[in-house]
């Protein structure tokens, strides 16, 4: 059926549902949608943070109804929690008078994951997603159980980088099951919508979608979950930094000053919410000519390494820009999987070993126990 017919069918499927206070779902002023785009259906329910638990059932029932009428998993219903008022925030979490920071209360999500690592850049276009995937595969090569979450709602890259097709399936407990690629468990909003569908969502919807990909996906037991962060330092980044027990962050930057300015902002954001910086990676450090083999510093040289030294952050290494790396990424055959013994495969594996050593040496490691292990 076309989008108009699908919208009519969606409204009919939702007609008998009501909010906890008895208001018909489709008549509530706090409900946005349903919206149909490219055969996909989305609905948002605006609530307060305190009402999240009481609205969980109606969210689940609405999503089930939409998926049943659409004949598959082509529907998503999100709860968009409003921010607390300043008075409520003050009462719930008084600031630490010594530091000026408010303590962060983190929900018990990802309980089966030993270490959650954010890979961030502060800006787009520096190769963060390619780095995330190859770091994840480097960790996998150490015999670890690894997952990767593509948290870039507006520009998801994971389906292309891992050649993932189809839709994630629901498990017995109605939680989504991650897809599998090269031994990794993977989840991305790009797997939930058509490739050319633009996610025209406001900040609260983006934050809610990210939260659901963390808590409503059956990640199971993992040694490491890599989160490929969206670019920038806004609400979406804070939702992840404050909503999960992050073991730390890896910052990816190209060498030039323009990228380093944003990398500094990313580092400052993580430090502000007490997330340690596990390392800095200089990506596209130089270009290796496929014809002459010459090395060309297209974006300058050594900028990220110098910045890491200035900020007192570990430096994990420099990754060159090569035709092999570009072809491998575009083809959905990451270089660590395609050529693990080659120079780039060994480079990423070395960085992964350094990262794993830092994770295992972290003070909080002994305080975190795996369920079922």
d(CA 124, CA 155): 10
| Backbone phi, psi, residue 239, to 5° | -60, -40
Give kind and range of the element (H or E) at residue 260: helix 257-272
CB 284 within 8 A of CB 299: yes
Number of C-beta neighbours around residue 140 at 10 A: 22
Give kind and range of the element (H or E) at residue 46: strand 40-48
What are the tens digits of pLDDT across the range 296-353?
666 656 667 787 787 778 889 888 888 888 899 888 999 999 999 999 999 999 999 9
> Which of 120-129, 158-167, 197-206, 359-368 shows the lowest per-residue confidence on average (mean pLDDT)?
359-368
Q: Strand 40-48 to strand 295-296: parallel, antiparallel, or no bridges (unpaired)? A: unpaired
Angle at 279 between CA 273 and CA 285, to 5 degrees: 130
What's the rounded mean pLDDT across residues 108-112? 74
CB 63 within 8 A of CB 78: no
pTM: 0.67
What's the rounded mean pLDDT across residues 77-81? 74
CB 107 within 8 A of CB 320: no
* DSSP secondary structure of 194-207: -TT------HHHHH
Residue 82 pairs with which residues in a beta bridge? 48
Judge whether residue 148 has pLDDT over 90. Answer: yes
CB 25 within 8 A of CB 58: yes
d(CA 229, CA 80): 20
What's the rounded mean pLDDT across residues 16-44? 81
Judge whether residue 250 has pLDDT over 80. Answer: yes
CA 189 vs CA 56, 157, 171, 175, 200: distances in Å = 20, 9, 18, 15, 13
The closest alpha carbon to 357, from 258, 219, 192, 224, belongs to 224
Q: Strand 277-288 to strand 295-296: parallel, antiparallel, or no bridges (unpaired)? A: antiparallel
**95: confidence class by pLDDT, cuts 50, 70, 90:** very low
């Amino acid at each position: 059926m076309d989008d108009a017919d699908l919208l009519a069918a969606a409204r009919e499927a939702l007609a008998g549902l009501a909010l906890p206070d008895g208001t018909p779902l489709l008549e509530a002023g706090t409900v946005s949608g349903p919206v149909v785009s490219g055969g996909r259906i989305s609905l948002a329910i605006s609530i307060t943070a305190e009402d999240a638990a009481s609205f969980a059932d109606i969210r689940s029932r609405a999503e089930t109804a939409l998926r049943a009428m659409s004949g598959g998993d082509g529907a998503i219903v999100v709860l968009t929690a409003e921010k607390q008022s300043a008075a409520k925030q003050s009462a719930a979490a008084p600031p630490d008078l010594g530091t000026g920071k408010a303590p962060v209360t983190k929900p018990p999500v990802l309980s089966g994951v030993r270490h959650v690592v954010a890979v961030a850049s502060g800006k787009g276009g520096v190769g963060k997603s390619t780095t995330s995937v190859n770091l994840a595969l480097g960790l996998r090569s150490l015999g670890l159980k690894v997952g990767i979450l593509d948290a870039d709602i507006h520009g998801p890259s994971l389906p292309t980088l891992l050649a993932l097709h189809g839709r994630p399936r629901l498990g017995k407990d109605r939680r989504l099951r991650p897809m599998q690629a090269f031994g990794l468990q993977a989840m991305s909003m790009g797997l939930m919508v058509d490739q050319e569908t633009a996610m025209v969502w406001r900040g609260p919807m983006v934050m809610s979608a990210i939260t659901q990909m963390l808590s409503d996906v059956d990640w199971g037991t993992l040694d490491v979950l890599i989160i490929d962060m969206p670019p920038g330092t806004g609400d979406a980044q804070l939702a992840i930094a404050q909503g999960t027990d992050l073991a730390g962050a890896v910052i990816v930057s190209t060498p030039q000053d323009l990228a380093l300015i944003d990398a500094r902002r990313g580092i400052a954001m993580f430090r502000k919410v007490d997330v340690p910086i596990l390392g800095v990676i200089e990506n596209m450090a130089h270009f290796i000519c496929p014809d002459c083999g010459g090395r060309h510093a297209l974006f300058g040289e050594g900028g990220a390494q110098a910045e890491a030294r200035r900020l007192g952050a570990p430096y994990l290494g420099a990754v060159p820009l090569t035709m092999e790396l570009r072809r491998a990424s575009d083809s959905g055959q990451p270089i660590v999987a395609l050529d693990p013994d080659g120079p780039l495969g060994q480079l990423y594996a070395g960085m992964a070993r350094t990262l794993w050593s830092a994770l295992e040496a972290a003070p909080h490691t002994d305080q975190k126990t795996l369920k079922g292990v």
